[in-house]
Amino acid sequence: MEIRNYNDAVKAYRADRTDETLYAAAKALCDELTSLEKLGMLAGKRFFARNGRDLILKGQKYNCRPCVGGGVKRLGIPEIAFSDGPRGVVMGHSTCFPVPMARGAAFDEELEYEIGKVIADEVTARGGNYFAGICINLLRNPRWGRAQETYCEDPFLLGKMGEALTKAVQEKGVIACPKHYAVNSIENIRFDVNVLSDEKTLHEVYLPHFKRCVDAGAMSIMGAYNLFRCEHCCESRYLLKDVLRDQWGFTGFTISDFLMGVRNAPKALKAGLDMEMPQRLRYVSLPLDLKRGKVTWDDVDASVQSILRALIKITPDKKTASKSVVACGKHTSLAKKAALEGTVLLKNDGVLPLPKGKKIAVIGRYANKANVGDHGSSSVTAPYTVTPYMGLRHVYGKENVVLCEGTDFRAKEEEIRACDAVLLCVGSDYKQEGENLANFSKKDGVADRAMGGDRSSLRIPAEEVALIMDACDAFDNVIVEIVGGSAYVIEEWKDRANAILHAFYGGMEGGNALAELISGQANPCGHLPFTMAKDEDDYPAFLFPSAKTRDITYGYYHGYTLLDREKKEAAFPFGFGLSYTEFEYSDMKAFDRGDAVEITPGVKNVGERDGKTVVQVYAGAPGDHPVKLLKGFKKVLVKAGETVEVTVRIDKNDLKFYDPETKSWYLEDDYTFFVGQHSADTVAVKAE
């Protein structure tokens, strides 16, 4: 078939949908482009204000409409129409889901798939065709300011959630973009921190979740700001070509992180960075670089064809969603479901659930404040947000809810004392953690309390600790809701509270979800996607701007693998989560099925309420490896008094370890599987 325009290329590919045809169609279409058109494909455009109508500046919100790049109108080649937003579409007034960390706590890839379909519809409804909200950077240390944007500390869970979101988005005709590639987990010095890591650690800990998304068909990848082995990630041939394309077979295109991702245009292009976003800044030098021989037209063609392959393969359905679906009832209901599934009950001495008809006081700076997370590039503007106070009023009635905003309850102490329980809303907001917007306004990159960034302390603010202590002295039945992006150290007060819930940033329906959980209309079923340590020093080393060096080594162990190695106990282990019922495991067996291992425990609900739990399967092998690593999980609903048999299938490829000398993956001769409800409560099982 002769290919003269974009529609011809799409028809040719759809005839058999093979990679061979995809490559041929992209090359043929590239050959139809002029030199200027090819160069125009390699960058974003119209990001800065023009006549007060376009993006950014002039007081407009970042990404309030698609950030566009490339495109050739003459041949019908569409522009890349970019939307950001790990917790939903940042354009317009969209559905604000709980942050990804809360969705990681749900341990439910099927739920994440449904969220992905909703996000894709809202992207297309706003005129987009590209979604860059698949943040799969591993949580190495909870100090990281943007921890809320990712799912967890574990590579396997991280990969499964990223895979689900990738598949859902692209099945709806939206190009999926996992980010930030790679080893990106420090915010305040994100532009100049230099990460060092050995090959085994890199491939087993910091890259497998990216590979899983590539294997799932992701057609774009965003590079990171930081350096890796003394090279900026967006200029690293090792990351962008040797690993991404040569080892993994990635067929799509790469983009830079915005504004500061590219420093050296010829180096970036030759390394495999296909598109500079959101505007041509460094790539403006490419015409001169071509004349001077720093890059070749073959380099340009390779990048253009990578972009064209993605546009040809992931084409929007002609029936793109209408604007009426944005934040519709179906979508906001899913947002509430995600908040319900992801909230983690850490402690309960019997005060919960608190039935309807009781009286409750809600106290704290976040008691009646919309607090859905970071105000940086992931910020979603929802048409409404339900606060804890509003949600409690919906469930208990306005006459049964006492509000006391702030950390001083003395003025309402007698009224609060008449309540059956007290809810304290503590933790963080966009001022304490998030994207470090100071990077763009201060030379030293030090965030202040109004600019987000990394957390200097893993404890909640001192005035809120004092509030907890005072409330526990003054009142009975104190419930603490922790709001925030990741783990906190709560040793000084955890024994004082009667109940503790980690609600993360719960999205636009978070208040309703919280009220349903407190009242028992819903049963908590979230499990921690990270380790809550007893001491801040139980986490790996971290770097702040005051450090004398910008080099940091990412080691093989972190989170629960580090505590296992050092034989330390967590305050709350990875995977931990209570319910209003209890579960018992029995008859646990493991079967070798050739290409996989199947684990089949029986799970009995021994309580009086229906509830969900997450069956977690870890694997360990002799040698220089972690004691155990998560390799399978399944969320199951078990009715009161019933027993269900659960099958967790583990692909043997997920059991392999990396040999840096041969650059290959291998299986050990012997494995032990650990089955349980969290990483520190498992039973060992051998495969039959």
Same domain? 284 vs 394: no
Same domain? 303 vs 338: no
CATH number of the domain at 471, please.
3.40.50.1700
Handedness of CA 318, 323, 324, 326 (dihedral sign): positive
71 Rama class: left (phi>0) / alpha (psi -120 to 50) / beta: left
Could you tell me which of 492, 360, 496, 373 has the C-alpha nearest to residue 427? Answer: 373
Q: Which of 507, 522, 538 is the C-terminal boundary of a domain?
A: 538
Same domain? 10 vs 159: yes
Same domain? 239 vs 190: yes
Which residues, given as ranges, of the chain have pLDDT below 70?
49-59, 317-319, 440-450
594 Rama class: left (phi>0) / alpha (psi -120 to 50) / beta: left
- The answer to whether residue 552 sits within a structural domain is no
Same domain? 53 vs 200: yes
Side-chain-side CA neighbours of 194 within 13 Å: the count stands at: 8
Structurally, the chain folds into a number of domains equal to 3
User: Residue 164: enclosing H or E segment and its boundaries?
Assistant: helix 155-171
* Cross-strand bridge partners of residue 255: 222, 275
- The answer to whether residue 557 sits within a structural domain is no
**DSSP letter for each residue of 515-535:** HHHHHTSS------SS-B-SS
Q: Print the domain residue range for 595.
A: 581-685
- The answer to whether residue 412 sits within a structural domain is yes
Beta strand ranges found along 465-588 (DSSP E): 478-483, 499-502, 551-553, 583-586
Cβ atoms within 10 Å, residue 415: 14
Cα distances (angstroms) measured from residue 34 to each of 68, 272, 301, 304? 20, 21, 11, 12
CB within 8 A of 311, min separation 6: which ones?
Answer: 6, 77, 78, 80, 175
Same domain? 28 vs 173: yes
CB within 8 A of 59, min separation 6: which ones?
Answer: none
- The answer to whether residue 547 sits within a structural domain is no
- The answer to whether residue 141 sits within a structural domain is yes
Cβ atoms within 10 Å, residue 443: 7
Same domain? 591 vs 508: no
* Cross-strand bridge partners of residue 681: 678
Which 3 state secondary structure label does DSSP give 590? strand
pLDDT at 14: 95
Helix/strand/coil (H, E, C) string of 438-458?
HHHCCCCCCCCCCCCECCCCC
- The answer to whether residue 573 sits within a structural domain is no
pLDDT at 394: 97
CB within 8 A of 121, min separation 6: which ones?
Answer: 172, 321, 325, 331
* C-alpha–C-alpha distance, residues 469 and 467, integer Å: 5
Q: Which of 513, 538, 563 is the C-terminal boundary of a domain?
A: 538
CB within 8 A of 293, min separation 6: which ones?
Answer: none
Phi, psi of 506 (to 5 degrees): -85, 5
Amino acid of residue 306:
S
DSSP-derived pairing of the beta strands 220-222 and 253-255:
parallel
- 113 touches 165 (CB < 8 A): yes
Place of tokens 């990048």: 303
Cα distances (angstroms) measured from residue 673 to each of 129, 633, 687? 42, 12, 8
pLDDT at 320: 76
CATH number of the domain at 171, please.
3.20.20.300
pLDDT at 47: 87
CATH number of the domain at 660, please.
2.60.40.10
pLDDT at 116: 98
Q: Which of 317, 344, 369 is the C-terminal boundary of a domain?
A: 317
Same domain? 266 vs 343: no
Sheet holding 421-427, edge to edge: 344-348, 499-502, 478-483, 421-427, 360-364, 401-405
- The answer to whether residue 545 sits within a structural domain is no
Tokens of 544: 């702040």
Same domain? 335 vs 308: no
- On the 0-12 / 13-18 / 19+ scale of CB atoms within 10 A, 9 is buried
pLDDT at 518: 98
DSSP 581: S
Residues 301-339 have pLDDT tens digits of 999 999 999 999 998 766 677 899 999 999 999 999 999
Could you tell me which of 171, 178, 191 has the C-alpha nearest to residue 138? Answer: 178
Same domain? 485 vs 513: yes
Same domain? 517 vs 614: no
**155-171 and 208-215 helices, crossing angle to 10°:** 30
- The answer to whether residue 422 sits within a structural domain is yes
Could you tell me which of 105, 49, 137, 224 has the C-alpha nearest to residue 487? Answer: 105
* C-alpha–C-alpha distance, residues 340 and 19, integer Å: 41
- 53 touches 73 (CB < 8 A): no
Could you tell me which of 62, 44, 55, 49 has the C-alpha nearest to residue 376? Answer: 62
Same domain? 304 vs 421: no
